[in-house]
Amino acid sequence: MSTTEASPQDNEQLIGRADVNDLEAILAVTNTDRDALISTVQDHSDAIFTWDYEKGARPPLEKLYEKAKTSMWNGETDLPWDTEVDQEAVVIANSEAMYGGDMIDVDVKGTAFEKWGDAEWLNFGVQSQNWMLSQFLHGEQGALICTAKIVETVPWIDAKYYASTQVMDEARHVEVFAKYLDTKLSGHYPVNAHLKMLLDDIVNDSRWDMTYLGMQIMVEGLALAAFGFMHMMTTEPLLKQLLRYVMSDEARHVAFGVLSLKEFYEGLSDAEIFERQQFAFEAAVRMRDRFLQQEVWEHLGVPVKEAIQLVMQTETRQMFQMMLFSKIVPNCKKLGLLDRNDKWLRHRFEEIGVIQFEDWIDTGEEYEQFALTGADFAAS
């Protein structure tokens, strides 16, 4: 069997199931310690000191570092926290913008939702928003931990300098998402099991470039796309501005991964690249699976599988699931991961239906387009 063919055994080894779309197997993955406040993950990495302090060996990273130093914003003072947020009114306004007033754009006749009225769908919208922002918050803490690990493990001083600025960025992101959840929304959800598995894998891997690949390229790349989609769809001004600020940082973070790994991956063997391709595919599937919101349906007491199958029929959800990969795929192409080893990763992205983004601009080229302007700060 060539490396272009994915066998059920390959998928079983990588993601724990033979079929990437097996909903029963996806839902079988659950968070067993959802009430725990502390989670410990073994970190097997070596701390690397470098005694070469000369800047400029990697000009793109030095440029990124200088950009980061002048792009800091204050989560307490630069956002209009006095904005009143009526969560139910926001859900209704967002539904009006997306569906023309309906809460869902799919036929529910003959399903468990046939008797749902506006009140039930409104509650779902509220819970969905609580869940989404909770997962963003958990992902940002994962980024905080992983970026601190990059400072510790990357061997280049230019990368250590930039990664230190990202640690501050991620702390700020955790802070503002937590504050928004606490003061503007109506509940928290624990970390999704698929997201937690991926974060654990990233922290657990001893290789510094795998931290980059898992966090900077995959998790942060997907987050950048998800934030962009939510920024476009939400009608709530405080959240829109919060997301705009976070996106300005995230674009630099993903660019940091692209600029750092491109040089390193050019020197790796096919066998080493294959390990990175497999990890990227596993991360992509886990990130896709985490957005099925199974915890919301469990909270609402409805059949989870039926609910997911119904919602996944909606045009908006299908577009969202695809757009999540609009940053990941071109960045993987820029790193040379798509076509090495008989195009293994290209075929995997074809399998999950996201290869169409390969020629979109990569974040290493576009990050300055996300930079905050005077108009952004004036809006606060």
Return the biggest CA–CA distance within the chain.
68
Q: Inter-axis angle of helices 157-184 and 59-69, to 10 degrees?
A: 40
Q: What angle do CA 109, 114, 116 make, to 5 degrees?
A: 150
Band the pLDDT of 80: cuts 50, 70, 90.
very high
Beta strands per DSSP E along the chain: none
Distances (CA, A) of 98 to 145, 276, 316: 35, 38, 8
CA 338, chain centre distance (Å): 20
DSSP 219: I
Separation of first and last alpha carbons in the chain: 58
Classify 287 as helix, strand or coil.
Answer: helix
Cα gap 325→133, rounded to integer Å: 19
The pLDDT, as a whole number, for residue 2 is: 42
Nearest to 106 by CA among 309, 301, 311: 311
Cα gap 91→76, rounded to integer Å: 25
Q: Report yes or no on whether pTM surpasses 0.85.
A: yes
Q: Number of C-alpha atoms within 13 angstroms, CB side, residue 132? A: 17
- Identify the structural domains of the chain with CATH numbers, from first to last: 86-372 (1.20.1260.10)
Task: Tell me the pLDDT tens digit for each residue of 143-179.
Answer: 999 999 999 999 999 999 999 999 999 999 999 999 9
Nearest to 327 by CA among 219, 201, 239, 246: 219
Task: Tell me the pLDDT tens digit for each residue of 183-209.
Answer: 999 999 999 999 999 999 999 999 999
Classify 35 as helix, strand or coil.
Answer: coil
> Is it the case that residue 323 has pLDDT exceeding 90?
no
CA 200, chain centre distance (Å): 15
> Is it the case that residue 1 has pLDDT exceeding 60?
no
The pLDDT, as a whole number, for residue 375 is: 64
